[in-house]
Amino acid sequence: MRTWRRWVGRIRGLLRPGAQDAQARDEMAFHIEMETREGIARGLTPEEARRVAMRDFGGVERYREQVREGRWGHGIQQLARDTRLAFRSLGARPGYTSVVLATLGLGIGATTAFFSLVHGVLLRPLPYPDPDDLIRVGAVWEGTPQGALSPAEFTDLESSLADLRGMGAYAFGSLTFTGEGRAERARTAFVSSGVWQALAIEPALGRVFTREEDARAADVVVLTDGFWRARFGADPAVVGRTVQVSGVAALVLGVLPPEFRMPEDLVSPEPVQVVSTLGIDPATVDLGQRGNHFLLGVARLAPGMSLLDGIGRVRDAGLRMVEVYPDEYPPEMRFRTAASPLLDHLVGQARPTLLLLMGAVALAFTIVWANVANLQLARLASRSGEIALRRALGAGRWRVVSQVLVESLVLALGGGILGILVATGATGLLVGTVPGNLPRVEDIGVSGPVLAFGLGTALCSGILFGVIPAWYAARGPLPTRIGSGHRNTGDGSRARVRQGLVISQVAVAVVLAASSVLVARSLRALADVDPGFSTDNVVSARFGLPSSRYPADADVTDFFASFVDELASLPGVEHAGAVTNLPLATGLGDMSFELEEERIPDGRDKPDADWQVVTPGYFEALRLRLVSGRAITERDRTDAPGVVVINRTMAALHWPDQDPLGRRIRLGGEDTEPRWAEVVGVVDDVRHASLDAPSRPQMYLAHQQFRGWSGGAPLRTLTVVAHTTLPPGELARSIRERLSARDPELALYGLTTLDEARDRSLARQRFTGGMLTAFTTLALILALIGVYGVMIYSVRQQTREFGIRIALGAAPGSVVTGVLAAATRMVLPGIAVGVLITLSLSSVLRGFLYGVSPTDPGSLALTIAVVAGAALLASYLPARLASRADPVAALRAE
Amino acid sequence: MSRQRRSDVIKGTLDMLILRTLEREELHGWGIAKRIQQRSGEVLQINQGSLYPALYRLADRGWIESTVGESAEGRTVKIYRLTLEGSKQLISESANWKELSAAVNMVMGTV
């Protein structure tokens, strides 16, 4: 009760500071009046009595001030007063204030916008309940980073990790929906029932499949919300109905909520549309068959289980597997099972690029910061008279410091608010420019954590750039010459601090400029890479032939052969062909083989090479360069002798200085019957995986012949390519029409031109380069402003000196040279420090560069020339100003 | 006016003296100053002005409170009185003071 009343009193005092003050004044007046009366009663004259009373009391003003200071909330009022003062004094200098606000707004805006990207991609939690409990479970062995699990390994893991809250495995593929409407290929996740538990997903309609249904072969499907709306018009009655899916009648079990995503959907541009069963029955899995790694494992830690604990359990399960199946996992394979946080696993590959750029942003921001600190120092010099006056009038040291700091904070917060506005606009722009292969960019925005980051940056920088001027204000000399514009004794050290700030700005600008020059060179080197094939005017599209409609091997090979012929006969098409995997789009598998002249004993490692299956016309359509021999042609039919075309790397590796044509290799594993193939041609290397990866040995096999070698069916899914003289869009349309005319139930996808594919493969490097260039430009401009500011200030300070020198006969040119020399004394150390920092960062930069060394002298020289040239340009204007100093005016001013 | 030797109030004891004075009666500011002077046999001369920051401080802590009253001359003045928390504070401060002064006496007595 009393406490409550006390607080009411405090708040009232805070809101009406005058009332209490007036009370205190009345009380004191009464006190003195009473004392005076007593004095008169003792026989003093009224004047004497009052004088004694005042003396004994000891200074009404002083004690009133003490009453004020002792009051609760005094600090807040002081702060309010300082803030009002700051607003007034900043408002009185609109030029200065707007330059600082604009600099800060840009700097904080760019930093915050980029942070929103980093937060959205790397830091934002996954969209599942308790996402930190999710782990990726995979297998690792010699030469293979954490990868997929085999069905047998998954089955073992599922039973040994039973005390986790859920363990599941899944793989991606596609199902083709036919029947109602046009044939449509739907990206499908084939999942075990444990995935539902691990990801904690509840359907919006119907149900998901249960453990008992795990073994069913894709004849039950669960639709995603998007696919349900697009194909079935959001009809709830579709649940429980049977639809035609890839040639079988499949039951629609349920519909997932709109926010459902498979973990990989957050990373891949092509989201899952349908979920179906994995078709693995734990009861019937052959546990002795440990190979065939294609399953992605996901698990959820049990409540209270630590990540380390979970990782340990997964590792122990792997150790048991190695014990039970020593033949399958020989020691040299170094097989183990491993787990890592799911989020890390998904976004880890984007991390280096984003962190590099975040580092660049942070560097650019230090330049912003140094500029503002510099401006503050210059301002402090011009108001040292005012500060001296206030100290003389009794303002304590702390009062002056707090006022300077409060002003910095007001500026910083203003800059922060501007910055967040800038960031809100810039984030949209930024998300528009990021490459599609950057995960999770779709719903990035200025969220709570991003806001906190922006304001936090503003506040921290406000304190930081306020501290230097505050320190000078505190230590500033007591006024000897209030109001005089002459240099104070503190000027020398302040000038040194300002020069130091400029030196570090130049150094940072050099680091940024060098990085962006290097990345730009690397990008050009990449764009100039000869991929070994032509991307001009080539259109590609992919489709597969379901075994339900094309059961016989010949159906498949004939369909592709005749369809490719049909494309080639289209007007404007010069060549057409088909291939398993287009370069720069997907990776390739490898296959081991033996040379006829060098048989490898069983159990020893055989050589291997990446393989492609092609139809006749593929080499011509992509204009692969034939080095010798011939391409795959119509002659290479199923019943003809096996042939292979190899690339230059493979030829050089196995037949150095010999003619590989006519040599024979034996393909196929131990289980299948080996087939002989004769080398009939050598083609130039193709950059398949990416433009910056060196070519591996590679062989091209004929689509017609390939089924025999694998002992199974021919490949049912191929990418057709056609080289055209027509606009690519027209050709794409006629490919779709032709396919639909042959079989309306086939779904065509991945329609693209190779130029686009090549562009996409460079998207990330281009993004890095573009961002770095933007930050560098910003940094350079700000650093130049810094140099300009310091030079113009020092020239103004020395106007009299220059005037006298000119009066004494110095040529204006020598004054210009003198100022430029002074600028050089600042810029050169900055450049030297910057170059040293760049060199020390070379190991970081190396990972982002192709075809250019991080210590490339040419790039460094260019950087130095740009920064030095720009800095001299920024000092030239002040130098001109100095050379025009008027000697008469300078002397008169004295 | 004959000037006697007067002692400044020992640092930190002013609060205690105010509380003790208000324990016996409700008083306005000047009255408190007079009372302290009288009770100490005119030995303790508090720095009169410093009384007021102390009063506001004690009020802020909730140890004393003020009402509007009348002085003997019929003037409207602020009258201070002790609160319950103030009495508790006074008890603990008195105990501390007794302990301290006894200790000082012991030291001084042995010289």
Kindly report the three-state secondary structure assignment for every residue of A332-393: HHCCEEEEEEHHHHHHHHHHHHHHHHHHHHHHHHHHHHHHHHHHHHHHHHHCHHHHHHHHHC
Based on the domain organization, do A361 and A436 belong to the same domain?
yes
pLDDT given for residue A55 in this prediction: 85
Give the mean pLDDT of A243-258: 90
pLDDT given for residue A474 in this prediction: 73
User: Would residue A422 count as lying in a domain?
Assistant: yes
**Using one digit for the tens of pLDDT, what is the confidence trace for A541-574?**
988 887 778 888 888 999 999 999 999 999 889 9
Instruction: Mark yes or no for CB contact A58/B57 under 8 Å.
Output: no
**Chain B CB within 8 Å of residue A880 CB:** no
| Gap from B42 CA to chain A (nearest CA, Å) | 14
Residue A59: its chain B contacts at CB < 8 A? 49
Based on the domain organization, do A355 and A493 belong to the same domain?
yes
- A628 or A605, greater pLDDT: A628
User: Would residue A121 count as lying in a domain?
Assistant: no
Of A6-10, A356-360, A672-676, which has the strongest mean pLDDT?
A356-360
Query: Where would I find the beta strands (DSSP E) of B27-105?
Result: 27-28, 64-70, 76-82
* Domain closes at, from A304, A333, A362: A333
Distance of CA A9 to the CA centre of its chain: 54
Query: Where would I find the beta strands (DSSP E) of chain B?
Result: 27-28, 64-70, 76-82
CA-angle at A451, arms to A448 and A456, nearest 5°: 125
Amino acid at B23: E
CA-angle at A237, arms to A232 and A243, nearest 5°: 60
* Crossing angle (nearest 10°) for helices A448-475 and A351-382: 30
pLDDT given for residue A462 in this prediction: 87
**Chain B CB within 8 Å of residue A10 CB:** yes
CA-angle at A53, arms to A51 and A55, nearest 5°: 70
CA-angle at A61, arms to A59 and A64, nearest 5°: 110
Taking 80 as the threshold, does the pLDDT of residue A374 lie above it? yes
pLDDT given for residue A487 in this prediction: 47
Give the mean pLDDT of A830-842: 93
3-state secondary structure of B78: strand
Are the C-beta atoms of A576 and A614 separated by less than 8 Å? no
pLDDT given for residue A489 in this prediction: 47
* Domain closes at, from A333, A359, A381: A333
3-state secondary structure of A837: helix
Q: How many domains does chain B have?
A: 1
Give residue for tokens 């990726």.
A136
**β-bridge pairing A698-702 and A608-614:** parallel
Q: How many domains does chain A have?
A: 4
CA dihedral A110→A112→A115→A121, nearest 10 degrees, is -100
Among residues A621, A543, A585, which one has the least CA distance to residue A759? A585
* B110 pLDDT tier (thresholds 50, 70, 90): low
Among residues A348, A341, A346, which one has the least CA distance to residue A134? A341
Instruction: Mark yes or no for CB contact A6/B1 under 8 Å.
Output: no
- Asked whether the CA dihedral A668, A671, A672, A674 is positive or negative, the reply is positive
Based on the domain organization, do A369 and A407 belong to the same domain?
yes
User: Would residue A514 count as lying in a domain?
Assistant: yes
Are the C-beta atoms of A427 and A443 separated by less than 8 Å? no
pLDDT given for residue A490 in this prediction: 53
* Domain closes at, from A52, A72, A92: A72
User: Would residue B96 count as lying in a domain?
Assistant: yes
Give the mean pLDDT of A173-200: 87
* A394 pLDDT tier (thresholds 50, 70, 90): low
ipTM more than 0.90? no
**β-bridge pairing A675-683 and A608-614:** unpaired
3-state secondary structure of A206: strand
pLDDT given for residue B54 in this prediction: 87
Residues of chain A with pLDDT > 70, as a percent, come to 91
Based on the domain organization, do A387 and A510 belong to the same domain?
yes
User: Would residue B36 count as lying in a domain?
Assistant: yes
**Using one digit for the tens of pLDDT, what is the confidence trace for A718-760?**
899 999 888 888 888 889 889 989 988 787 877 888 888 888 7
Distance CA A187, CA A386 (A): 72
Are the C-beta atoms of A169 and A278 separated by less than 8 Å? yes
Based on the domain organization, do A279 and A162 belong to the same domain?
yes
Taking 70 as the threshold, does the pLDDT of residue A803 lie above it? yes
| Gap from A395 CA to chain B (nearest CA, Å) | 20
Instruction: Mark yes or no for CB contact A63/B57 under 8 Å.
Output: no
Residue B60: its chain A contacts at CB < 8 A? 6, 9-10, 70-72
Q: What is the CATH number of the domain that holds B90?
A: 1.10.10.10
Q: Which domain holds residue B57?
A: 14-110
Based on the domain organization, do A428 and A402 belong to the same domain?
yes
Which residue in A has a C-alpha nearest to residue B56's C-alpha? A67
Distance CA A833, CA A836 (A): 5
Are the C-beta atoms of A698 and A588 separated by less than 8 Å? yes
* Crossing angle (nearest 10°) for helices A94-118 and A763-797: 160
DSSP string, A577-627: EEESS-TTTS---EEEEEETTBPPPTTSPPPEEEEEEE-TTHHHHTTPPEE
- Asked whether the CA dihedral B59, B63, B69, B73 is positive or negative, the reply is negative
- A880 or A274, greater pLDDT: A274
DSSP lists the bridge partners of residue A185 as A176
**Chain B CB within 8 Å of residue A22 CB:** no
* A603 pLDDT tier (thresholds 50, 70, 90): low
Q: A423: part of which helix (H) or strand (E)? A: helix A397-433
Which residue in B has a C-alpha nearest to residue A1's C-alpha? B62
* A669 pLDDT tier (thresholds 50, 70, 90): low
The H-assigned helical ranges of A743-762 are 754-761
Among residues A394, A407, A502, which one has the least CA distance to residue A790? A502
Provide the terminal-to-terminal Cα distance of chain A, rounded to the nearest Å: 69
Q: Which domain holds residue A64?
A: 2-72
pLDDT given for residue A651 in this prediction: 94
Based on the domain organization, do A448 and A595 belong to the same domain?
no
User: Would residue B29 count as lying in a domain?
Assistant: yes
Q: Which two tokens stand for residue A517?
A: 């020059």
* Mutant choice from B32, B34, B46, B60 vs A, greatest count of A C-beta within 10 A: B60
Based on the domain organization, do A222 and A324 belong to the same domain?
yes
**Using one digit for the tens of pLDDT, what is the confidence trace for A767-786?**
888 888 888 888 888 888 88
Other CB atoms within a 10 A radius of the CB of residue A684 amount to: 15
From residue A744, alpha-carbon distances to A181, A549, A569, A739, A748 in Å are 10, 12, 21, 7, 10
Candidates B29, B50, B84; nearest CB to A27: B29
DSSP secondary structure letter of residue A438: S
pLDDT given for residue A727 in this prediction: 85
Provide CB contacts within 8 A for A215, sequence distance 6+.
A277, A279, A280, A281, A283, A284
DSSP lists the bridge partners of residue A665 as A595, A677
What does residue B2 show for φ and ψ, rounded to 5 degrees? -80, 125
Other CB atoms within a 10 A radius of the CB of residue A655 amount to: 17
Taking 60 as the threshold, does the pLDDT of residue A484 lie above it? no
Based on the domain organization, do A394 and A494 belong to the same domain?
yes
Distance CA A263, CA A242 (A): 28
Give the mean pLDDT of B89-94: 89
User: Would residue A119 count as lying in a domain?
Assistant: no
**Chain B CB within 8 Å of residue A159 CB:** no
pLDDT given for residue A863 in this prediction: 92
What does residue A580 show for φ and ψ, rounded to 5 degrees? -70, -50
* A42 pLDDT tier (thresholds 50, 70, 90): confident
Based on the domain organization, do A401 and A512 belong to the same domain?
yes
Tell me the average pLDDT of chain A: 84
Which residue in B has a C-alpha nearest to residue A8's C-alpha? B60
Q: Which two tokens stand for residue A138?
A: 């995979």
Q: Which two tokens stand for residue B87?
A: 């009495």
Are the C-beta atoms of A863 and A506 separated by less than 8 Å? no
pLDDT given for residue A418 in this prediction: 93
pLDDT given for residue A604 in this prediction: 63
Distance CA A215, CA A193 (A): 10
User: Would residue B9 count as lying in a domain?
Assistant: no
Instruction: Mark yes or no for CB contact A67/B52 under 8 Å.
Output: yes
**Using one digit for the tens of pLDDT, what is the confidence trace for B27-60?**
888 889 888 888 887 777 777 888 888 888 888 8
Give the mean pLDDT of A141-165: 83
pLDDT given for residue A498 in this prediction: 83
Residue A9: its chain B contacts at CB < 8 A? 59-60
DSSP lists the bridge partners of residue A594 as A666
pLDDT given for residue B48 in this prediction: 81
Are the C-beta atoms of A600 and A672 separated by less than 8 Å? no
Candidates B29, B57, B83; nearest CB to A31: B29
Q: Which two tokens stand for residue A727?
A: 């606009």
User: Would residue A750 count as lying in a domain?
Assistant: no
Based on the domain organization, do A594 and A671 belong to the same domain?
yes
DSSP string, A439-491: TT-TT----HHHHHHHHHHHHHHHHHHHHHHHHHHHHSPPPSSTT--SPPTTH
User: Would residue A532 count as lying in a domain?
Assistant: no
Instruction: Mark yes or no for CB contact B57/A70 under 8 Å.
Output: yes
3-state secondary structure of A699: strand
pLDDT given for residue B6 in this prediction: 46
Distance CA A273, CA A548 (A): 22
Distance CA A152, CA A337 (A): 13
**β-bridge pairing A274-277 and A184-191:** parallel
Provide CB contacts within 8 A for B109, sequence distance 6+.
none
Based on the domain organization, do A660 and A711 belong to the same domain?
yes
**Using one digit for the tens of pLDDT, what is the confidence trace for A440-476?**
776 777 788 889 998 998 999 888 888 887 887 777 6
**Chain B CB within 8 Å of residue A66 CB:** yes
Give residue for tokens 């899944």.
A170
Residue A657: exposed, middle, or buried by beta-carbon count in 10 A (0-12, 13-18, 19+)?
A: exposed
* Mutant choice from B52, B67, B76 vs A, greatest count of A C-beta within 10 A: B52
